[in-house]
Structure formats: structure tokens, C-alpha cells
Amino acid sequence: MNRMLPVSLLLLLAMAGPAAAEDMEITPFRTVNQSPLVQIFGLPAQSEATVAPSGKTVVSLVQDVASDYTVSSTSREQIHLDGESYRWTLAARHGFGGRFDAGLEIPYVLYGGGFLDSFIVEWHKFFGLPQGGRDSAPKGRLLFSYTKDGVQKLKMDHADSGLGDISLTGGMQLYEARDGESHDSLALRASLKLPSGDSNSLRGSGSTDATLALCGSMNNFTEWGALGVFGSLGGMAMSDGDVLRDQQQHLVGFGTVGLGWGPWSRVSFKFQLNAHTAFYRGSSLDELSKPSLMLVSGGAIKLPGDYRLDIGVSEDVAVATAPDVAFHLGVSKQF
């Protein structure tokens, strides 16, 4: 079980308000792998299976706070990822033509030593979980480095912040069936990530990335509350980037699958698995060459004014392929 799950569940219960008349649908968390060597690329966080209604605009503000600590080495390679990242994404998509939407995503990225090291060490100690060397490492340090065959190919050891790579998004509704007891949807989504961020500070990859994904969901509204499942499957093509350029893959597959339950009309609980193939080749280190799998758990709250708040905590199911822990908050509203 996700060791941060009790925290997210308590937050949801504490913030729950009086029930509303209409059940809240189960929708995916709007988050991806926050590893500093992955978030620079254009993995799409948006995987909802419905497009924005025609003439309406859906606006969201998302924050992801991730703590990385992994150290690995072989006779030829050494990697050290120790630090925290903070990513805020402002996204908007507007519906038109009854079946389409188009949007824009603007991220702001900050790297630093952070403050979560001591908390995570104590959490692991309390539950008897392995520390993986984090308890003996300097607290509040920022160091992202990679060396191969005696050549240092990556090093970042200073705090930095600024705009990341901006993305253009679009969606097309392929199927939708809705009545008082269910809502089933299927959509085709695409995105184009532009190299607007500084790749030297890992706020961008230096590549132009294009994605295409099929996203589906099924929601049923029962006497026990809303029950939902969702998933997506897609691929991404990337031009040559600036980060580990000679080892970068140019094609990556990705997908999500999740389920949720809304026992009350204002509160839902959900679990989501995010996966993607490796972004790099020519390495025997898991941090670079192993497909990633991470679990996001938490839920959503419907706030007054039809605002929706997502609260989630993610962990690296495939160890070292994603941050040890990341905290996700997302607020969205349709105008």
C-alpha cells in the first residue's frame, strides 16, 4: 500500500463539505513523472476522456512537489539525483464545434535543496521502511549528476527557477454516451511541446515533442456512489534534445490506468498508475534505461463555486524510475 495514502485520505476527509445533489465523476490525476530527467520532456498530464464543452473554457492550476534521492553506479556509470523540484502549470482549453477543444499549458519550474528530507527520513523510520541511503546524505542538498566512461555528462548543483517548455494541446471527442446512471467517453488527444525552457537548468529538454493518445473513461452513478474507471494509451516522438543528447530516445510509449469511488457527491477517492518506456538508451542504470511505473493515490473534492480540487501522493513502484515521493495539488474550473 502507498505509504503516504493515509495523509491524502485524511486531507480529503477533513476538507469534505456538505453533500451536493449531483455525483462527482471520477477523472484522472493531472500529473506525470516528476524526475528531473523526465519532466523536461512532453509527457501529457491531461488524459481526460471528455473535451471542453463548446463555447466553454476549462482552466486548471497544478502544483507538483517532488523529492528525489537515488544513487547508483556500475564500472562505467555513476548517477546521483538528490534534490527537490516544484512545478506549477497553468493550463486552459476551450471547446468548439461540439467535439473539439484546443489549449495551452505554461509551466514554471523551480529546483532546490528543499525541506522534505528530514520528514521523509522520519516517515521511513516510523514505518520501518528502507532509507536507501537518504538518512546518511546531507540534508537540503541539490545535486543532479551523471558520469559515463569518466566523462561527466550532466551536473546541476545550484538552485534555479523559471519558465519551462510550453505545450499546445488539442482534443477530439470520438464517443460519448450519457444518461442519469452512467457516462462513458472516448477522446483522441494530441500535444506539441516547444523548447522554450532552459535545458541547461533542466527546465526544458531542448527538443520539440509531439504526442498522440487515446483516452477513455466509464462512470456509473449507483446507490453506493459514483464508480469510475479510466485509462489512456499513447506515444510521443521527440526531436534531438540537449540533455544527454547521444543517449536520448526519439520514440516513447506511455499510458495510465485508474479507478475511483465517490461515496459522497463532493468527495471521491482514486488510484492511478502512470507508466512510460525509457527516455534514454546506452545505460545499464535503472534511472535512465528502465521503464517507469508510479502509483498516484488520493482523491478529489468539489468546492463551492464548482471548483474541483485534486489531492494526490505518488511513489515509484518501479524503484528509481520516478521520485521517491511527490505531492500533487490541482484546482480546476469550467467557465
Instruction: Dump strand ranges (E) for 223-324.
Output: 225-238, 251-264, 267-276, 292-303, 307-316
Low-confidence ranges of the chain (pLDDT < 50): 1-3, 5-21
Distance, CA of 164 to CA of 179 (rounded, Å): 41
Grid coordinates representing 279 are 527516455
State whether residue 210 is helix, strand or coil. strand
In angstroms, rounded to a whole number, what is the distance separating the alpha carbons of residues 279 and 262?
35
Q: What is the pLDDT of residue 141?
A: 83
- Residue 127: predicted pLDDT: 57
Check residue 211 and give its pLDDT.
98
- Asked if residues 253 and 293 have their Cβ atoms less than 8 Å apart, the reply is no
What is the pLDDT, as a whole number, of residue 1? 39
Residue 13 confidence (pLDDT) = 45
CATH number of 5-334: 2.40.160.40
Measure the CA–CA gap between 234 and 253, rounded to whole angstroms. 6
Q: Which residues contact 10 (CB under 8 A, 6 or more apart)?
A: none
pLDDT at position 113: 83
d(CA 229, CA 205): 33
* Domain range list for the chain: 5-334
Per-residue pLDDT tens for 155-185?
A: 999 999 999 999 999 999 999 999 989 999 9
